Amino acid sequence: MDTDIAAIYFYKGVVVVEAHEGVTLSFTTGFTILLHGLRITGFSPFIYIANRVNSYSVSPTDYKYLNKINPLKGIAIVSDSESARNNAELEKNFCTKPLEIFENMEDAHEWAIGLLDEQNYFI
């Protein structure tokens, strides 16, 4: 699914979001994507993977909304940029769900499936 702010890919138990260059990703700008995503996942447990292939802004205080989404069981942030990974470390302070940072999608996906399995949500 491609929107004006991101490309979103839905897999079994995993939602991958690649925000477009220069956008601001927040609860307000991403709300319709969130609703559409929840309809597609059928409110089944899932892991959100932010594949940060582009440079964009994130509102870390908006994690308070993500923390309340029950089907969301964890968040992975993927970037090959050290500065982006450092920013993600700061974001961890705002998230109460499991959040890990990775340099590649393969490791993030493996962690996501493992987390779902560990929490007995493997589908």
| Single-letter residue type at 1 | M
Is 70 exceeded by the pLDDT of residue 22? yes
pLDDT, residue 85, reads: 93
* pTM for the model: 0.91
The CATH fold assigned to 6-118 is Transcription Regulator spoIIAA (3.30.750)
Average pLDDT of the residues in 62-84: 94
**Nearest CA-CA partner of 21 in 50, 56, 51:** 56
> What is the SS3 assignment for 20?
coil
Is 90 exceeded by the pLDDT of residue 34? no
For residue 23 the two structure tokens come to 């956008």
Residue 5 to residue 111: CA distance in whole angstroms: 26
- Higher pLDDT residue, 52 or 38? 52
Residue spans of the domains in the chain: they are: 6-118
**Nearest CA-CA partner of 65 in 105, 100, 25:** 25
For residue 85 the two structure tokens come to 């990974």
